[in-house]
Structure 1
Amino acid sequence: MKNRKVCLVVGASSGIGKAAAEALAGRGHRVYGTSRDASRVTTANVVGLDLEINDDHSIREAVGKILEAEKRIDAMFYAAGFYTAGAIEETTPEQIHQQLDAYFVGAHRVTRALLPHFRKVGAGRLLYMSSNAGDAALPYHAIYSCSKAALQIYCDGLRYEVEPLGIQVSYLQNGGVKTGAEASFRRAAEPVAAYDGPRDRAIAAFHRMQQKGPEPKAIGATVADAIEARTMKPVIRADNFSKLIGFLGAVMPAKLFRSQLRKSLDIA
């Protein structure tokens, strides 16, 4: 295959990461997909690798195995993580650390492991899964929103540093996607009764958005398109909802925007 790329998909055992690995492999790229347990990576023509996003040694070992086998890595898509929901007062500092480790620090660890190779060859693509929550904090999902906002600012800063070296950086946003994430999210650990009503309605509304969203396959195709494009866009808004939220956040009065967001999560 002409322009066949060697791709690393972090978090390839389920959801959007699995869909991205499937799309890339289906187009003939050489794909390595990671999970804490490589046996959970079951997509055809995707090589599974053990990788723990909080362990530098694990990450370096996985990257080393790819380079040993392929002599190069051309692109990385980061889709690992989970989300925490609940009021800020209910969320422990330990949970905040865990959330940031999943979406932000873990992404940084993988990035640091890849950059020496990318710098050496003068090329490479880094694509990260973000969320509309990175632009507009979601009520009762503030810690999740913080982790995505941090990731987006990280990408913006990283882009200044590595673009002159031939390395492209982008993040992708999408609205609710039917990934099954609502079955494995983490609730804030120390519930406060004062938040019971609005907190539970907001979490339920967020889950409904996911359940009504598209299957991950469409997002997987968007990831593959970005990695194959001549130049990745700095921000990829994959669906009309993401484009609309970005536009409304920029043009609507803040009070009106917040009111509409509250209504969308059933806490108006």
Structure 2
Amino acid sequence: MPKTVLITGGSSGIGKAIGEYLSGKGYQVFGTSRNPQNITDSLFPLMKMDVNDTDSIAAAIAEVLSKVEKIDVVINNAGIGITGPIEETPESEIKKAFQTNFHGPINVIKAVLPQMRKQGFGHILNITSIAGYMGLPYRGIYSASKAALEITIEAMRMETMQFGVKMTNVAPGDFATNIAAGRYHAPVLENSPYKKDYGNTLKMMNEHVDNGGDPIQMAKVVHQIIENKNPKIHYKVGAPLQKFSIVLKRVLPDKVYERMLLKHYGLK
């Protein structure tokens, strides 16, 4: 019997690439989308789910279990981007980012754990971000939401391993997806003291995404993790320099690392 995989945010970008790759490897894949009726090119079934709506999460999981007997793997991929000077970012948008990037995956995990506990096995993969390992200028809220998920999963995996449930964080760097089009951009205000620096940084961030790697790299790593009987807690997937930046943060003095980031973004 093939493994059943549920992927949140499976209609585009990294989620879609993972779903298509795993389908090609013989997995039984189900994806989710807030508006599946608008997606006509999916190679695997999409169900309606909003990770901010616990009723829709429960309904989607119930729908999967009406078709199969078990859920082997859940991939928490749904998320949103957010950029801007923190001072000028509306509180409502900050809350929305945390609601989707942090509370959303936790909601999904809470909903699927009873089934995995009943099965006696399961693997939950959380797509975080290399940005979650450092505070990046004009991406601070995004970094913080992903960092919060990373740390929470470290604790949660220790709580749930007694049930045969594995949890893994997979942190991608920049990949060529449509995340830049869908994220919240605090507007570059004409009279803002951040206008020049934020405008230049925003342009650089968009170029990084446009020139990012093929999401199929993420799909291949996720497949390897699923097939690994003893996966690591953390994986980083991206350009060598992006992954090396995490090592540098760990070994360099704080202010040296900060100066390196300022230089990279052309700030100060």
Structure 1 stretches of 4+ moved >3 Å: 189-192
Q: State the identity as a percent.
A: 31
1:16 aligned partner: 14
1:197 aligned partner: 196
1:149 aligned partner: 147
1:229 aligned partner: 228
| 1:43 Cα deviation from its structure 2 partner | 2.8
Deviations along 1:142-190, whole A, 9 cap, x unmatched?
Answer: 1111100111011111111011211111111122110022222212269
Check 1:164–1:37 CA distance in 2 against 1; reply closer, same or farther (3 A cut): same
1:213 aligned partner: 212
CA distance in 2, matches of 1:198, 1:41: 40
Deviations along 1:91-128, whole A, 9 cap, x unmatched?
Answer: 11111110001111110111111000111111111111
CA distance in 2, matches of 1:225, 1:38: 28
Q: Is the 8 A contact 1:178 1:210 kept in 2?
A: yes
Amino acid at match of 2:76: Y
What is the root-mean-square deviation in Å for CA atoms of aligned residues?
1.5
Would you say how many aligned residue pairs link Structure 1 and Structure 2?
265
| 1:242 Cα deviation from its structure 2 partner | 4.1
Q: Is the 8 A contact 2:188 2:199 kept in 1?
A: no
1:121 equivalent to 2:119? Answer yes
2:244 aligned partner: 244
Q: Is the 8 A contact 1:91 1:190 kept in 2?
A: no
Deviations along 1:193-235, whole A, 9 cap, x unmatched?
Answer: 1010111111111111111111111111111221121122100
Q: SS at 1:198's partner residue?
A: helix
Amino acid at match of 2:170: L
Match among 176, 179, 201 for residue 178 of structure 1: 176
1:261 equivalent to 2:261? Answer yes
TM value normalised by structure 1 = 0.94
CA distance in 2, matches of 1:203, 1:115: 39
2:50 aligned partner: 52
Q: Any stretches of 5+ residues in structure 1 without a counterpart?
A: none
CA distance in 2, matches of 1:252, 1:208: 27
Q: Any stretches of 5+ residues in structure 2 without a counterpart?
A: none
TM value normalised by structure 2 = 0.94
Amino acid at match of 1:241: L
Q: SS at 1:160's partner residue?
A: helix
| 1:71 Cα deviation from its structure 2 partner | 1.1
Q: Is the 8 A contact 1:155 1:171 kept in 2?
A: yes
CA distance in 2, matches of 1:248, 1:190: 31
CA distance in 2, matches of 1:248, 1:180: 29
2:76 aligned partner: 78
Please, which moves more after superposition, 54-63 or 256-265? Answer: 256-265
